[in-house]
Amino acid sequence: MDALRYIFDFRYVLLVTTFTLTLAGIGPLSLSFAQTHEISETDEVPTLQEIVVSATKTPVPVTQVTSAVEVFTEEDFKRRRIKTVLDVLRLGQGIAAFQNGGPGTNATVRIRGGNANQTLVLIDGAIVNSATLGSFNFGHLTVDNIEKIEIVRGAQSTLWGADAMGGVITITTKRGHGPFRAGGFYEYGSFNTLREGISMSGQKGPFDLSLTLSRWDTSSISAINFRRGASERDPYRNWQASSRLGIKLPHDGRMDLNFRWWNGSLNIDSSVGPSDVIKARNNSNQLIFSGIYEQPITDWWTHVLTVSRAQEASLFDPGISQRNLTTGAVSVPFGSPNETRVLANRIESQHNFYLAPYATLTLGYQFREQQGENDTGLSTKIISSHAGFAQVQVNLWDRFFGTAGVRHDSFNVFGGATTYRVTAGYLVKETDTKIRSSYATGFRAPTINDLFFPNFGNPNVQPEKSQSFDVGIDQFFFEKRVRLSGGYFWNRFRDLIQTIQSATICGVGSFGANFCPVNVATAKTQGWEGSLAVTIVQDYPWIKRLEVRGQYTMTLTRNLNTTRRLARWPVDQASVSVYYQPIDPLSFLLDFRFVGSQFNLPSTAQNDSQRVGSFEVVNLTTTYEISKQLRAYVRAENIFDERYEEVLFFGTPGRSIYGGVRMNFEIPFFIHSPEEDHA
């Protein structure tokens, strides 16, 4: 009865939303699975050179980028029919992406041996890292209405400021194109998983719009691995909405207004014990707003203004009882329901001066503010900063490329930090070979918890610092149908913040018996990255398209204080994807992912039992276009039923299968001229 009531409720929301949009005259009604472009999935699309923005804060063709970058697009999401951004990042180079259980549980992403709080994450220009924890939880973020994900590896503090020691991940919402259309999708599968959504996009005159609303429900798995004795499933529910409204302004100006919201609610367990906890729950409600205004002032001067706000309220309920899976003891969980509220504001003014055809100067100012509070004694605390940065880009004869930049951040609580970065690259056009290298410094600011958490925070803690170097080569063959990339990276981290136990430093009676954060650790990481992308066959009988993509990363980590490996960093990681399209309507995508063994805690002679074994996971997605108006797909995950843990004690789904449909019925309500696509 609950399932029937839910389906009725969602259909009511779908009907009301579609009816409202139709009355507003925004666009036609059509049903599709997050399909908002005017070009169908099987239509031929002109091949354009990929543009990267995050590496320089200006649009640069990927062949001219001198940083180590990787880009995932909407096409990658659609081929796999995946649900979350985390599933995409798991396939990335130099990335360790792990989750504490099933869907919705805490999920973090690390780059090149760094920590999760050393990876800066932006959604449409809004910084979404938690003000209290420093990291971003990817557990709730789906790929709905996302156009592109850019990953820049290595220290990026010169352009992006604090928390970008390991790298930057920028996520961009889709922009509306073509005639307006509305759509929807439906998916059902293992663990009573039900996903539904509606979408709309298009452009008319100076306006373009893209928006989605979706819901995801699943009975899921036990957060603590059921193979360790946990008996309770931990269900998950996710509502998500997003929109992007673009407005073309006079004199080639443009404004984008972006909005994203989600509400995720899930049952959780505890790694202490480990313990199966009854009715423990976490509810996250996040709102992200941003406005980006770009205006050419002259033919050699452009101004970009970004204003953003990200806020989250996270409610934690410790549950009513818990069972220790090691001893079998039953007890009442410690604590009471409480809520943590965090807020991040960002204002940035960026000026690009095109000094000559071969040189661009970028000057910018950023104000950043983070607030945090909770119901357990942390009153509202604020960390704010003012920053100025400058960067010069050089392009000589479309062969030599380079950047040099410097930045200074001044904080209200611990002083300032100055960082710099230089990169260089050379393109041998005759052989399609690009050699690139970069060197940079970075820093991570202490979090509100580090500084102010009651009976724990240390007001004397200082920023973490880093040095980062990499060198790589990108090689193209056969008219860019084959791409090889390889490189070496090296990082040195200093003044790392770690929790220590000391009555002298932390004081008597501190949280957890004299524990507090202190700048005491140094670490080094280095390794090799390699990738391959090959279009093997194209436009042959029964082989419309056959592609193979793969990547391998070796990451060597070392705590220079203890000479042991860093926690949660496997030495070896690899992934391989094979895309096969025998005929226009039918396609298959096979993903293989390997993750080597790791340590759940910093490796020592005493805790080597905290070792997490290596694993391999294979997923297969099949899509069939029944007609231009109807598509169906089946996605099988972990098809060999691998028994593994990404994080020690926490469960992962076994073999599972999901099926869904997309429908696309276009009903024009007004005339759309082709000229509007190019206006």
Tens-digit pLDDT profile for residues 488-500: 999 999 999 998 8
* pLDDT band with cut points at 50, 70 and 90 for residue 529: very high
Q: Which residue in the block uniquely carries the two structure tokens 């004199």?
A: 251
pLDDT, the chain, mean: 88
Distance CA 439, CA 463 (A): 20
Is residue 49 situated within a structural domain? no
Q: Could you read off the pLDDT of 415-450 as tens digits, one per residue?
A: 899 999 999 999 999 999 999 999 999 999 999 999
Domain region containing 31: 2-42+69-678
Note whether 71 and 61 are within 8 A (CB): no
* pLDDT score of 86 more than 60: yes
Of 17-21, 192-196, 297-301, where does mean pLDDT reach its minimum?
A: 17-21
Note whether 218 and 191 are within 8 A (CB): yes
Higher pLDDT, 216 or 9: 216
Count up the domains in the chain and report the number. 1
Note whether 530 and 552 are within 8 A (CB): yes
Is residue 61 situated within a structural domain? no
* pLDDT score of 480 more than 90: no
Note whether 632 and 83 are within 8 A (CB): no
* pLDDT band with cut points at 50, 70 and 90 for residue 186: very high
* pLDDT band with cut points at 50, 70 and 90 for residue 50: confident
Note whether 198 and 19 are within 8 A (CB): no
What CATH number is attached to the domain comprising 79?
2.40.170.20
Note whether 404 and 438 are within 8 A (CB): no
Element (H, E) at 466: strand 464-477
Of 35-44, 146-155, 322-331, 360-369, where does mean pLDDT reach its minimum?
A: 35-44
* pLDDT band with cut points at 50, 70 and 90 for residue 7: very low
Q: Which residue in the block uniquely carries the two structure tokens 């094979």?
A: 578
- Residue 673: per-residue pLDDT: 54
Is residue 409 situated within a structural domain? yes
Is residue 233 situated within a structural domain? yes
Note whether 176 and 204 are within 8 A (CB): no
Is residue 48 situated within a structural domain? no
Note whether 513 and 503 are within 8 A (CB): no
Is residue 336 situated within a structural domain? yes
Higher pLDDT, 137 or 25: 137
Q: DSSP readout, 411-472?
A: ETTTEEEEEEEEEEEEEETTTTEEEEEEEEEEEEPPPHHHHHSTTT--TT---EEEEEEEEE
Beta bridge partners of 215: 196, 239
Q: Kindly give the pairing relationship between strand 321-324 and strand 275-278.
A: antiparallel
Is residue 385 situated within a structural domain? yes
Element (H, E) at 74: helix 74-80
- Residue 669: per-residue pLDDT: 57
